[in-house]
Each structure stands twice: as C-alpha cells, then as structure tokens.
Amino acid sequence: MKERKNIEVWSDYDVCGNWYIAIRKKKGSLKLEEIREIAMDWEQDFYALIIEAVDKDFQDYYNWDFEGDFVRLYRATDFLKCE
C-alpha cells in the first residue's frame, strides 16, 4: 500500500467482531475518491462506508480521540449475505 501524507490506515474489528478498514486523515477532509483509492490499495472488495459524524462535545463525553476525518469501511458482502 502506498504511503499517503497525513493519512493513517489500519484494519480492526468492532465490538461485535465485524472486520473493518479504518481511515483517518489528520488534516483536511477525506474525499470519496481518496477513500475509494485507499480501499482498493488495501484489498479490492465491495465496502459499506460508516462515517463518524459526531461533534467535539460528544467526543469529549466518551473520551474518544478523533482528530481530523475518520471513516470505517465494512465489507458490504458481510451485510448482504442471504440466509
């Protein structure tokens, strides 16, 4: 995966055990095309975009460390499975 200035990318699991890609841009705003390119570089798949849309008061209340833009990409195929 190529280096991107001011952007951190990692994979993790949420509290329910669902895998996701986390993308954080420290300065400036993430653009949709930028998110798509990062996801393609990580692993080509279909993703659902989860946006952390909370203000500073909410972040402080839960003691979360969100600087800049932050998004989570979940595998869309995990949510689209037929049972």
**pTM to 2 decimal places:** 0.76
Could you give the strand order of the β-sheet that contains 69-75, starting from the edge strand earlier in sequence?
A: 7-13, 19-25, 69-75, 47-51
Residue with tokens 């949420």: 14
pLDDT value of residue 38: 95
Residue found under tokens 């390119």: 37
**pLDDT tens digits, one per residue of 37-71:** 999 999 999 999 887 677 767 666 655 555 678 88
The pLDDT of residue 33: 95
